[in-house]
Structure 1
């Protein structure tokens, strides 16, 4: 597999992580004609909802998203999630390779609080992801209310 550490992917990763940049997600897909080679296929500023529109039900893809949520009325937190998407119509051989190939993606997109394995867009409910991020963050300033 190649391409996870391409300059385009690294630039997009740094943009998502940059507090001063509006980019808050990126999407990596397998090149159609290159087997296991990866490429940056989309970036955006519309958060998880916009990202979900770009996911392909017939592909395995990797996404990295910045999630901001309020701890209380005084502060917000920023956390990052790595999404490993295996659409329901993905070919069997591609599905089988993802568990091994995802390790290279994780080495490049290494700073994330949680990993979300998703097969349907329903698996990417922002409220559920925020609950998981709060738990991963340790302190719960929301009194256990998610």
Structure 2
């Protein structure tokens, strides 16, 4: 099980979910406290979307991220959906990889509102265009042919 007791996690999550004009935060990153620990801590937040988040992902680590993705289906509508990213760096240890599916369930209990989960093993897996396609498919009926 993952330890998500870091109070900063809940604060950052609520900040992202709020409709306040005071914050433009659109992602948060959770990393394990150290190589052997099951405690996740908030390591970063930002407002630069997936592009900015990808710069912080480490090939030696496993991480979780929560991201707000904005897109439009037409010129009249703007949608915002949330995703959970499970990052598994290519040099991540075997034991860490083995625990991730159970730990992901714990993360989803703390960050419960999301549309899709994206598992990424390389940064190209976080291509925004592909993620928006998945979000559209998850959203159900599309009346505009997009």
Distance 1:139 1:27, change over 3 A: same
Matching residue within 65, 68, 88 for 2:67 = 65
Write the mapping of 1:47-66 to structure 2, written as runs, cut at 5 A: 47-66=49-68
| C-alpha contact (below 8 Å) 1:5/1:108 kept by paired residues | no
| C-alpha contact (below 8 Å) 1:26/1:65 kept by paired residues | yes
Q: Could you list the per-position Cα deviations for residues 64-106 of structure 1 after superposition, in whole angstroms to 9, with x for gaps in the alignment? A: 0000001210110000000000000101110011011111111
Q: Could you list the per-position Cα deviations for residues 88-139 of structure 1 after superposition, in whole angstroms to 9, with x for gaps in the alignment? A: 0101110011011111111001100000000000100000000001111113
Whole-Å Cα distance in 1 between the matches of residues 140 and 79 of structure 2?
12
Structure 2 unaligned runs (5+)? none
Write the mapping of 1:25-104 to structure 2, written as runs, cut at 5 A: 25-32=27-34, 35-104=37-106
1:135 aligns to what? 137
Q: TM-score, normalised by structure 1?
A: 0.93
Give the number of equivalent residue pairs.
144
Structure 1 unaligned runs (5+)? none
